[in-house]
Structure 1
Amino acid sequence: MKKIVHVIIGLNVGGAELMLKRLVLHSQQKGNFHHEVISLTDLGLIGKDLKEAGIRVYTLNMSSLLSIFSIYFSLRNLLKDIKPDIVQTWMYHADFLGGLAAKSLDIQKIIWGIRTTDVTQGASRLTVGLRKICAKLSYSVPTDIVCAAHVSKDVHIKIGYDASKMHVIPNGFELDKLVATEEDRNKIREEFNISKDAIVIGSVGRFNIVKNQKFFVEIAKKLVKTDPNLIFMLVGRDNTINNNELMGWLSEHNLINNFRLLGQREDIPYCLKAMDIFCLHSKTEGFPNVLGEAMALGVTAIARDVGDSKYLIQNKLLIQNEVDGFCRTIITLLNDRILLVEEGRRNIDIVRKFSMDEYINRINRIYS
């Protein structure tokens, strides 16, 4: 059985981390490959989940760039002890450190992972610079480069990555776990004092300049002028009443009573089910996991043209880039409830093409 070691910068909750968890658990269950995971920093919530599931997880506790050289040698020594057949790295920092360490040990299969599109939006100068270095190293270090999105592949080829090594494998969804009932929908609504008949427009994502919650607040500001009873739901880390910046925006536009701030939750499917319309308003994305999750639950979704949104949403009306476009589309949907329901049903059929089984089959072809 081939041994695969995954290298990632950390294991807190995020799109890449959740995808790593899904891949490892599903692949290990099928019994074709043995997986182990190395976090360059700490264990995080995902690391705890993996350990509880019987996956060996190592942490190197990198705390700053000053420790990068010692971390490199620790990583190299660890890989030397583990003796993997394949090293798979996730995102630039891990691609760089994990790729070089694996290459120095003459590991024959090194798979890099690209999940972002436009890192100039909100990323540090270091990350932008590291991407340029990785572009040059892509010709000599990895054997394969897996992109989560078609747009990510195109962007990275333009900045100099080796196009001949690139594969696009969209994220796989655990469709059997993306389930929520009307009872679950009502439970969330009751918890946050939302009536059964209220229209709820929501989004999910950590509070961050890239996730662009201010754009969502601007949408709400315009829509409440025509319907003051609309409810807007924000789910994700730091979307809470303790966030002074967010609360300042809501207070400025007299929106506090229209918003429900749920913060980080474990029951994301229930939260999505409580929404009538989902909005993806990020400045940049790779393959937007949460958009697919909303669609899998039959929620009608509107998204900016970021990452692979348009590969998921196939109705051009529902791809909008400006606040006014979002508002017009939402009003159209609210005035035509049949269209709203039909789009939700269509979403379920679209997302069925992105199952975890399909993802595992495609990544296995690279492993083999």
Structure 2
Amino acid sequence: MKLLHVIVALNADGAERMLQRLIESHIEDPRFRHVVCSLTTTGKVGEELAARGIDVHSLGMKSPLGFPRALWRLVKLIREVRPDIIQTWMYHADFLGGLAGRIAAHKRIVWGVRTTDVKSGGSRVTVLLRKICAWLSYYVPQTIVCAAEASRRAHVSVGYDASRMMVVPNGFDVARLCATPEQRSAIREQCGFDERTVVVGILGRFHPVKDHQNFVRAAGMLAARHPDVRFMLVGRDLDASNRELADWIAQTGFASRFVLLGERRDVPACLSAMDVFCLSSRTEGFPNVVGEAMAMALPCIVTDVGDAAMLVANTGVVVEKENSDALAAGLARVVDMKPDERIRLGQMAKARIHAEFTMMRARERFEDIYLRLVEEK
């Protein structure tokens, strides 16, 4: 079975990493062959997939003005690849991939939606595309896969065809989510932490939806009361060159307590260097980064966005979004625990991921969709 995946970009973000994990889970399975098409550039994930022998294409679209050329090139690619199924990831790819599929006389199309903030999130182009996709959802895709139950509810509320929607939670490659004690010690030493330091970490690109300002404010409140706590920020643009972030940190009065590591390839090692993980987002679908932290046995404090509360369940703390006081209080609840209590909470989190959210479980759910569509006439 040949699948053509169409996605906006192939950077190291949540949807892209989920696509990568899905494809790599089939590397040794001769039943499935995956081809990937990025509407923009190849990106880090595209390079990694290509290195493993996956056929990766990029259309080089830089703005909406490039839509006609990208559409024509995608139609041509579909006719060349002749996939059994076209699977698209997020609005721009849903629209362009769905339209190209129909022009190429292809009917087995699977859309993918992830966001939950459908009332206020996104640019004007994204909002317009969402409205168009809501109308097209009754005609173009055979199935619409939602990464979170919260995403499904949100899109039904803005007009998507509920009968075509189903939820496939992200799956995690738990075998890769591990690190050695030596890796933990090396990063902590690099950051100037000793074993008595309680490290609160956050991981993800610098973007308004991630609400890093909320995290920094809460961290400042926590720092005032807990002299042994330090804060580690990992992700794209979370580095010393980010003046806006630096200003927020300076305003806390505890700038020396923050360590900015920027984008890293050794994510499991960075997570292992933390003692507590925080998600401060103002919107999410299914927060991959929380699942990764849980798989690394970290107790998590999350804002109540998307499926974050469902994911952590009784293994972490859930607080109101965009409320720094609440986030600081949630962090304090876990920081104030005895070390063995934090470890026990983290082990509960790890057990939950291994029981419910492995890549194997997600792969099986996608395979059920693929086989059903191929068998249907």
- Contact 2:118–2:155, Cα closer than 8 Å, also in 1: no
The answer to whether residue 94 in structure 2 is matched with residue 95 in structure 1 is yes
What is aligned with 1:358? 361
CA-CA distance at 1:313 after TM superposition: 1.1
Distance 1:28 1:109, change over 3 A: farther
1:11-22 aligned at under 5 Å gives the runs: 11-22=10-21
CA-CA distance at 1:341 after TM superposition: 2.1
- Contact 2:116–2:151, Cα closer than 8 Å, also in 1: yes
CA-CA distance at 1:33 after TM superposition: 1.1
State the secondary structure of the residue aligned to 1:234. strand
Residues 251-298 of structure 1 show CA distances to partners (whole Å, capped at 9, x for unaligned) of 122222010001000111111111111000011111100100100111
What is aligned with 2:74? 75
What is aligned with 1:26? 25
Cα distance in 2 for partners of 1:15, 1:222 equals 29
CA-CA distance at 1:335 after TM superposition: 2.8
What is aligned with 2:343? 341
Cα distance in 2 for partners of 1:203, 1:364 equals 33
Cα distance in 1 for partners of 2:272, 2:157 equals 39
CA-CA distance at 1:212 after TM superposition: 0.6
Matched residue pairs, number?
367
What is aligned with 2:206? 207
State the secondary structure of the residue aligned to 2:225. coil
Cα distance in 2 for partners of 1:3, 1:261 equals 42
What is aligned with 1:272? 271
Residues 176-209 of structure 1 show CA distances to partners (whole Å, capped at 9, x for unaligned) of 0001122221111011111121011110011111
Cα distance in 2 for partners of 1:281, 1:61 equals 33
Give the TM-score, by structure 1 length: 0.97
Distance 1:208 1:3, change over 3 A: same
Cα distance in 2 for partners of 1:203, 1:17 equals 19
- Contact 2:300–2:315, Cα closer than 8 Å, also in 1: no
Letter in 1 for 2:233: L
Query: Which stretch shifts more, 205-214 or 314-323?
Result: 314-323
Residues 35-58 of structure 1 show CA distances to partners (whole Å, capped at 9, x for unaligned) of 101111111111111111001111
- Contact 1:122–1:209, Cα closer than 8 Å, also in 2: no
CA RMSD of aligned residues (A): 1.3
Between the aligned residues of both structures, percent identity stands at: 44
Cα distance in 1 for partners of 2:358, 2:335 equals 30
What is aligned with 1:330? 331
Which residues of structure 1 form unaligned runs of 5+? none
Letter in 1 for 2:341: L
Which residues of structure 2 form unaligned runs of 5+? 372-377
- Contact 1:12–1:46, Cα closer than 8 Å, also in 2: yes
Cα distance in 2 for partners of 1:332, 1:79 equals 53
CA-CA distance at 1:29 after TM superposition: 2.2
Distance 1:276 1:83, change over 3 A: same
Give the TM-score, by structure 2 length: 0.94
